[in-house]
Amino acid sequence: SEKPQGVELPEFKAQQQFFAKWSTPMVESGYLWISLDRTQKQGQWNRLFIDSNGNGHLNDETAITAYRMDQYSAYFGPVKVVFEGEDGPLTYHLNFRFYNYNEQNRRLYVYSGGWYEGTINVAGVKKYCVLIDQNVNGTFDDKSLEAHKCDRIRIGKKGDRDTRYVGNFIEVDGVLYQPEIARDGAYVKLTKAEDVKFGNILLPESITEFSAGGENGLFTLKPEKGTGLLPEGRYRINYWTIERKDEKGKKWKLQSSLFSQKGDFEITADKEAELSIGEPIISTLQARKSGSGYSFSQNLQGQLGERIALTSNGARPRAPKLHIKSKDGTYDRLFSFEYG
């Protein structure tokens, strides 16, 4: 962005700087200013300033030097910022990558520089818990219908990779709990969920596994005869799976991903939610002309436009073939697609 108005700036080395805002609800303004500078006339911007104390200025900050640089990027971090919490200062860390290809392609990527992990007590049993600020805004309790806007939590054995959305509910060992998560990630408390209203979801009977999430959290079901139960609320499909064996015993699997708003649905106690997903899937072929040549690509899509992956015994099957034949038959060739 342009040089910010009303922000006191440090003494820069270069003639030109770049400025950006990192959005966080942990400060009153809703953001912290960041600036990028460099020590030489040419090359990557290798110095970064951030309003680490949240006072709205950069002149009291120390320059952070890039720990690594390559042709187009400079990397910084972990960078410490301090928020004012109800019980005193709160420390958070960020990592940065400044990508500078040309004037039209400049981006500052911001990543969380840490997470919380440790043991918690669940019904008298110690479980290992990991809490992740997935949307990198400085808080750990974000809930959302959209997966990229909500944080993540793992509860189980140390090293388990089963990751759930932070939400109103979480299932542990078959029991539904209501989590209480500190905004700054300092603690996680679970209370057994009581008097929860559920609704039915109807799916094609060929669906062997179904996953959906929202502000209620992330749920994975193995439907029985195409039916399952979810707490009342609004959800977006995370994925569905169909598995079956052919006559030779080979195991085939279809799995969907990347759902848009078309995958949203509502669960209420008094009405069944029926979803049109699963088979048939759609195979698309795209042709592109470049000069005197053509290129072709083939993809699988679901009924809601979601991406479909097909595997056989856990691996990609042989790539499909493309048969091109002219109307008069003078051109007749068979091509094999390649993955990549």
Buried b (16+ CB within 10 A) or exposed e, 10-46: bebeeeebbbbebebebbeeebbbbbbbbeeeeebbb
What is the three-class DSSP state of 148? helix
Rounded Cα distance, 153 and 48, in Å: 31
CA-wise closest residue to 152 among 137, 138, 167: 167
Q: What are the residue boundaries of the structural domains of the chain, listed by start?
A: 18-112, 116-192, 198-274
pLDDT at 132: 97
The one-letter code for the residue type at 152 is R
pLDDT at 1: 66
Rounded Cα distance, 69 and 98, in Å: 10
Rounded Cα distance, 189 and 174, in Å: 17
pLDDT at 292: 83
Give the list of residues 6+ apart from residue 99 with CB closer than 8 angstroms, or none.
Answer: 72, 73, 105, 106, 107, 108, 109
pLDDT at 340: 64
**Are 166 and 153 within 8 A, CB to CB?**
yes
Distances (CA, A) of 313 to 17, 241, 258, 321: 54, 14, 23, 20
Q: Spell out the per-residue pLDDT of the chain, length 340, in tens.
A: 678 999 999 999 999 999 999 999 999 999 999 999 999 888 889 999 999 999 999 999 999 999 999 999 999 999 999 999 888 899 999 999 999 998 889 999 999 999 999 999 999 999 999 999 999 999 999 999 999 999 999 999 999 999 999 999 999 999 999 999 999 999 999 999 999 999 999 999 999 999 999 999 999 999 999 999 999 999 999 999 999 999 999 999 999 999 999 999 999 999 999 999 999 999 988 888 888 888 888 899 999 999 999 999 999 888 888 898 999 999 999 988 887 6
Give the list of residues 6+ apart from residue 76 with CB closer than 8 angstroms, or none.
Answer: 48, 64, 65, 66, 67, 95, 96, 97, 98
pLDDT at 294: 83
